[in-house]
Structures are given as structure tokens and as C-alpha cells.
Amino acid sequence: MLSKISHLGVAVRSIEETLPFYRDVLGMKLTGTEEVPSQMVRVAFLTVGESNIELLEPTSPESPVAKFLEKNGPGIHHVAYGVEDIEAAIASLTESGARMIDAVPRIGAHGAKIAFVHPKSSGGVLTELCQSH
């Protein structure tokens, strides 16, 4: 069902303030920044080898990321897995008793179809399914 780890999401208060660490200190490549209105976040994508880090900055106090920052401060927010067929993956997880936050995919960064599994049914890790094409 899963094809790879697509990216790790990291909640930050400010992309501008955090970017120098990832880009200049760690030497990761910035591949783009984008606003994702459906999630009330601005994101920056950085790559190292075949792996990606997504920095997430809230654009509204109502953003899930704003709530996360308020409670936990900055840090790892979610793990995203690539899937070939997100509708089939949602159906399979639902069938297995997982609690989906999104029963129907939403559009995320890069126009990908995304859906989240509630951390209460995934061992405390907010889990994202991501179909990029």
C-alpha cells in the first residue's frame, strides 16, 4: 500500500527564521515554498538525497499547525507516506479500523492528494497519505 516515506513535516513558527539551519547549516536543497490554503499553512520543501523535509508555518491561528505549536512548540509534526492509490489506501485503513481525519482526499502542496490518519489511532504519530500524481 505504501511506496516510500514522502516527507517528514516539521512545525515551525517562522520558515524565514528556520530555513538558514536546514539550507545553510545542514546544506539541504530548498526546492520551493508554497501556501496551502486548505491546511492554513505555508510550506518550504527541502531535499537530501531521496528524502524530503517539509517546514510548516501556520498562516492562521485556526491552523492545525498553530494549535500544535501552542501545545508543543516547534518540532516533528507528521510523517507522510507516498501511496499509488490514495482512495484504495483510505479504504484499506478504514477497513482495518484506523480513524481517518480525511475520509476523502484533500489537495495539499504541489497539488498532491493527501489524507491524514488521526494520531490516536496511529500510535501518537500524525500520519499522512500522499499521492503525488
Task: Kindly list the residues in this chain that would bind ligand CMX in the complex (CB under 6 A).
Answer: 9, 36, 39, 41, 43, 54, 56, 64-65, 67-68, 71, 77-78, 101, 108-109, 116, 118-119, 124, 126
Spell out the residues 6+ positions from residue 70 whose beta carbon is closer than 8 angstroms to its own.
none
Q: Which is nearer to ligand CMX, 28 or 52 (CB)?
A: 52
Backbone angles phi, psi at 35, to 5 degrees: -95, 135
Q: Which is nearer to ligand CMX, 64 or 74 (CB)?
A: 64
Least distance to ligand CMX, CB of residue 50, Å: 19
Tell which residue, 46, 53, 58, has the closest CA to residue 14. Answer: 58
- Residue with grid cell 486548505, as numbered in its chain: 38
Spell out the residues 6+ positions from residue 48 whose beta carbon is closer than 8 angstroms to its own.
26, 28, 29
53 Cα distance to chain centroid: 9
Least distance to ligand CMX, CB of residue 112, Å: 9
Q: Which is nearer to ligand CMX, 82 or 108 (CB)?
A: 108
Q: Which is nearer to ligand CMX, 14 or 24 (CB)?
A: 14
Least distance to ligand CMX, CB of residue 51, Å: 16
